[in-house]
Amino acid sequence: EVQLVESGGGLVQPGESLRLSCAASGFTFSSSSMNWVRQAPGKGLEWISYITSSSSTIYYADSVKGRFTISRDNAKNSLYLQMNSLRAEDTAVYYCARDQVLRVWGKGTTVTVSS
């Protein structure tokens, strides 16, 4: 079964950091490009970052550029999102999703930034 499982979310204060993980199974992770997409409470979907299978190409949304870093470990079938200098507006459910067409999604992990 094709599966993505996010972890690492939690409650942090503004300015703090958090690292999200996404564990992949059931498909050839090393051949797949990956994304992070988030959804603030009661709001729509916002794409935030993309990484190719070999990590050769990476893109970020302007809203997170310079603060978030996407990476992957193909040997561990894992995708990561390092989030620094977190703000209240980063509060959201964070999903990892496979491919440029977001064919497969995880169930998400919740990040809350609040003092």
Partner 1 sequence: EIVMTQSPATLSVSPGERATLSCRASQSVSSNLAWYQQKPGQAPRLLIYGASTRATGIPARFSGSGSGTEFTLTISSLQSEDFTVYYCQQYNNWPLTFGGGTKVEIK
Q: Does residue number 107 form part of the binding site for partner 1 (CB under 8 A)?
A: yes
Structure tokens at 45: 């979907």
Asked whether position 23 contacts partner 1 by CB under 8 A, the answer is no
Structure token digits, residue 114? 């609040």
**Is 88 near partner 1 (CB under 8 A)?**
no
- For partner 1, give the closer residue by CB, 1 or 115: 1
The helix/strand/coil state of 87 is: coil
Q: Is 54 left (phi over 0), alpha (psi -120 to 50) or beta?
A: alpha
Q: What is the DSSP code (8-state) at residue 11? A: E
Report the site for partner 1 in 26-85 (rule: CB under 8 A): 35, 44-47, 50, 59, 61-62
Site residues for partner 1 per CB under 8 A: 35, 44-47, 50, 59, 61-62, 95, 100-108
